[in-house]
Every structure is written in C-alpha cells, then in structure tokens.
Structure 1
Amino acid sequence: MNFLKLINYMKPILLVSAGLILSTFSAQAQSKKDLDRQAIKDMCGCYEVTFKYAETFSPDGNYEKHDDYTASALEWGQLVEDAENKISIQHLLVIQDTMVIKHWRQDWTFEDQDLFFYDANNTWDIVKKDASDVKGQWAQKVYQVDDSPRYSGSATWVHVDGKKVWQNTTPAPLPRREYTKRRDYNIMERNNQVAITDYGWLHEQDNKKVLHAEDADDRIIAEEKGYNIYEQVADERCAAAQAWWKENEALWAKVRKEWDAVFASNDRLKLKDKVDGQRLYSVMFALEPDATSADIKKVITDFIE
C-alpha cells in the first residue's frame, strides 16, 4: 500500500479519533462547569448564620485593637436566576415570623469580563478584563441591600479532595458593622474564600483595613480574620422570607434592571452618601411594590454624582 492510499485508508479512523478526543475534552469541561454551578446553588436555602470577626495584626505598634465582633441571624438564600452562565442568589433576613429584611445579593457569572472595583469615597471603577484573564472563572458580584454595588472579583472554583472552594482578593467598602463608626480607614481589602461544607457553607475572610489617599501611598491600618458560618436548617423556618419574596420579587427585578443600565453606561460610578438627609437604601425600601421603572430610575439617578 503506497503512502497516499495509506492516508486515505487512515483518514476516517483519524477523524473519529479526533472527534472522540474533542468530545472527551468537552465533556470534562462541561462536567467541571456543572460542578461549579452546583457548588454555587448549594448556597441557597435556609441558614442559621454566625458572623465572627477579630483584628489580628497592625504594623503600627501604637494601634489599639478594636473589640471582636460576633452576631447571628436566620437567613434565606433565594435562587433568583439560574442560567447556564449566570446564577443569582438574593439573601433575606428573617427577623420574626412576620418581619423580613432584604439583605445582600450575590450574582455569579461565568467568564465575565465586566467587573467593578471599589476606589474609596463611595466610588467604583467599572473595568473590562481581557477574556484570557477570566477563562474558566466565575465572577462573584456582591450588591448592597438596595442593589447598589459592593464588590466583585473573579476566580476559579476548585474541586479537590472532596473540597469545593473559590477564593479571590478585591477592594470593598467598609462593612456595615464599621462604616458609621470608623474613619481611620476607607477601603477593606477582602480576601474572600467561599467553601461548600457538609453543614452548609463557609465564607472565610482575611481582610486588610486600608487607608487610601490621593497624595500618599496606601497604608494598612490593621488586619482581621472573619468567619461567616452558614449552617443549613429546614426550609420551613424561612417560610416568611419565601412569602415576602413572592410579594416583592417583581419590584426588585425592576430595580436590578435599572442598575444594569447604570453599569452599562458608566465606566466610573460615584454615589452620594445621602439625599435630603436619607440614605439610598431608606428611599429604596420605601418604594411601593407597584413602583414603576421610572420611579426607580429617578431614585437611583438622584444618588449618582
């Protein structure tokens, strides 16, 4: 058999082999993505949450360590969107059987090039990353109670030795436990580790409290360790949150849509601390369930500098 005949003879075999290899790679990639998506959705449900924070170190020998912080809550993680490349989870605090407070929201988006980074003074830079920088990664975008931005970051979910972990470092505003009490720093550099556990999930943090100034180098004021421990309990305990969401989800869908328009039309966003003596979340929470998109847009626009 001459060379040309051999090539023609082998061609179907080679094509089939190449197809099998590509199919195997595709299946493995899809399997990894499915594992990622399931890990993210495992954060939905009803949880008893314990928040623990302690300052651990300061480069300033004269720094006086602040008191440790501990709190607890009952929280419902509501699956808002479940698409191939986006999963959105709205967190709701259950205060009493008849009292629910809208809490933070986290959106997870696959290979997302559009992120926002905090730059102190209630200001965020909206940045487009290179596709190669986010290949195979999921971005976690965290929003405040009024759906304004808080922080975002992109990293790869890792599944190894039975562990499901995602870790990223990103700048963020001061946490609510300190933003009305502290003036010695203005950026929280958050090292966030999200781990799915046998009891629920764990948000572990190694944070740096940073003083940022335009005319000086950034200075680390203190470092802290944080644990947000989510222990899963029966969904029935969060029935009030589930009912509240059914009554209010249409309003907050419109709010999210208006914020999406803001992100799409700006590369830098600065929000006012107060308008007419009120904070954004107070005005947003006062909206009626039937508020129009125009009503919502006006509220947001009033707070944009």
Structure 2
Amino acid sequence: MKRLFLFAMAFVAQHSMAQQKLSQDKAAIKNMCGCHEVTFEYTETFPADSTYKPKGYKKITDAVEYITVAAEGDKRIVLQHLLIAEGDVIKHWTEDWQYENQTLLAFDKDNTWKKVQLPAAQVKGQWTQKVFGVDDEPRYEGSATWVHADGRHYWEAASDAPLPRREYTTRNDYNVLHRINHHEITATGSVHEQDNKKVVRADGKDKVIVQEKGVNTYDRTDESKCAAAKAWWEQHKQFWALVRKYWDQLYAANTFVTLQKKVNNEPLYKAMNALEKKAFDKALTGAALEKEIAATLQQFAANKDMGLK
C-alpha cells in the first residue's frame, strides 16, 4: 500500500512538473509577440572549396515588425509576423508552434515537401515550429525542446528549407538550405540565429557549397509604431484564417506536396493578393470566397488530388 501511495505521489509530482514546463514553454513562445525594431544580418562563412568566393555581408535595418497570436489552443500557438517598411504593412512569415506533434512536412528539393511521421517517444516534451511564407505556403519545420536554464529561454532545431526570399530571385546555384534555427528570448525582445549550409541536392546526394551565419534581432519598441499593422491585421485576419484552413486540408490529404512556381505566368502571391483584395472589398465572401481559395491552391499544387473541398 505504501509503495502504491509513493508511486501515486511521484506520478502527481511528475505531472505537475510537466504542466509547469508546458506553461514556461507557452510563455516563451508568446513572449516573442509585440512591436519590434528589427535588424536582419547575413554573411557567408566557410566555402566548401577554394573555387567558391563567399558573398559579402548583408544588413537590413530601419524596419518594424509586429508579431501577434493568430490562433491558440491547448497545444498550439500560431504567431503572425507583419512587417512595416516605408509606411506599408506587409504580411510576413507565420510560425505555427505545436506541442508533441508527430507529423512534419519535411522539405526535399525543387519545391517539394514530404510528410514525415515521428514516434511519440521522440517528440515527448518537444514543440514543432512550422514556418510558412507570406501566403502561408510551406517553408520548413523542426522539432525540439524549449530549454529554460541558467536564466535563459531558447529553442534550437535543424531542418531543410527552400531558398530564402532574399536569394531565390537572384541565384540558382543551390537548391536546399539546411538550417539550424536558434530562437532565444532576450532582455529586450528575442533573437533568431541561423547556422546554415547551402546545399546542392541531386541523385540522392548532398553537396555543400558554403556555410552561412544569420542573426535576426527583435528589439521591443513603442507599440504605437505598430498601430497600422494592428489595424491591418484586424481587417485581414479572417481571410488568412480561411487560407490556413485550406492549406491544412492540403497537408492532411497528401503524403507529399509539390508547388508550381507560376500558374498562367503568375506567382502565388499575386493570385492571393487579388483574392485578398476581393475579400477586403466585399466583392467575394462566404462560400464563394472559400471556393476560390481552394481552387487557387489546387492550381498551384502539382498534386492531382488535393483533398480540398
């Protein structure tokens, strides 16, 4: 009887600690929200051989980024980034954090992602950060444990990704960016560090051409600087919730997803901009809007059966 009592007490204590850790994790993720002055810095470091000449240092400043919770559940927190540059509000990337998630969409190459199923034991206590682009199209996903120790709060995971927006319009000498993403809460906001490898993937083999260091710094600033972004999001968030709904259907229905870069000589962002404008102007609403969103995603996905309805 005593042994059973001690076992029950240990179980309760363990459950309590797990709940406390889960609360810490959620607080760290949501701590990345708010209005920030942002700086993006990148430099190529170690080339694979002497024939490659690393590109120079790049630094982007004078921008403000607003991060808000777009959706939240017991084991899921979706963060939306909105970039404010030269007075314009731009829907930036999306972070979908999921607790003990076993299903990842792993980037392969050439605009193709494959569904990967992880064992429950491997993801116990971990959070998957699913990163999506400006149209909520897939980018990359990684799973790891949030660490709270020595006064630090950070998360770090490796994943493969397509070329970043800052490069895919200017170069094609590699087709996979192997990323190690490190997110850490700081006294003034947060920092997103990257240790990347630029990879040529072909015939089942990877060849690294150069490594890269990236540091994206988010420093909290006066919330009034994000007033335009807050107003924009209130007006547009329902549209993007619908878009995420149909992307989720697409992911659930397929073991792989391949996206076409253009349809009728038009990239996805232009098609989605047109739909968003129609929704904002009330020219397209309700079931008709949902049908158009599903049809647009169906066009850009190379899969024949998308499962969209």
**TM-score, normalised via structure 2 length:** 0.92
SS of residue paired to 1:184: coil
Taking the TM superposition and a 5 Å limit, the aligned residue runs for 1:37-186 are: 37-72=26-61, 73-97=63-87, 99-186=88-175
Q: Deviation per CA, 1:50-89, whole angstroms, max 9, x where unpaired? A: 0000011012111111122111221100111121100000
* Mapped partners of 2:268, 2:5: distance in 1: 60
SS of residue paired to 1:79: strand
* Mapped partners of 1:243, 1:101: distance in 2: 12
* Mapped partners of 1:255, 1:112: distance in 2: 21
Aligned-residue offset at 1:21: 2.0
In the alignment, is residue 277 of structure 1 matched against residue 274 of structure 2? no
Aligned-residue offset at 1:14: 4.7
Aligned-residue offset at 1:231: 0.5
* Mapped partners of 1:194, 1:41: distance in 2: 12
Match of 2:292 in 1: 295
Instruction: Indicate the larger mover: 282-291 or 38-47.
Output: 282-291
Q: Deviation per CA, 1:169-222, whole angstroms, max 9, x where unpaired? A: 1100101111011111000000100101101000001000000112x6211010
Match of 1:8 in 2: none
Aligned-residue offset at 1:141: 0.1
Amino acid at match of 1:36: D
SS of residue paired to 1:136: coil
Match of 1:225 in 2: 213
Match of 1:7 in 2: none
Gaps of 5+ in 2: 303-309
Aligned-residue offset at 1:15: 4.5
* Mapped partners of 2:162, 2:35: distance in 1: 27
Amino acid at match of 1:294: K
* Mapped partners of 2:142, 2:32: distance in 1: 18
Match of 1:244 in 2: 232
Aligned-residue offset at 1:95: 2.4
Instruction: Indicate the larger mover: 63-72 or 101-110.
Output: 63-72
SS of residue paired to 2:262: coil
Aligned-residue offset at 1:17: 3.5
* Mapped partners of 1:133, 1:156: distance in 2: 11
SS of residue paired to 2:241: helix
SS of residue paired to 2:263: coil
Taking the TM superposition and a 5 Å limit, the aligned residue runs for 1:244-263 are: 244-263=232-251
* Mapped partners of 1:298, 1:304: distance in 2: 10
* Mapped partners of 2:237, 2:54: distance in 1: 42
* Mapped partners of 2:158, 2:8: distance in 1: 39
The size of the alignment, in residue pairs, is 292
Amino acid at match of 1:249: K
**TM-score, normalised via structure 1 length:** 0.93
RMSD: 1.2
Instruction: Indicate the larger mover: 194-203 or 57-66.
Output: 57-66
* Mapped partners of 1:76, 1:130: distance in 2: 35
Aligned-residue offset at 1:261: 0.3
- Flag the structure with larger Rg: 1
Percent identical residues: 44
SS of residue paired to 2:80: strand
* Mapped partners of 2:230, 2:117: distance in 1: 35
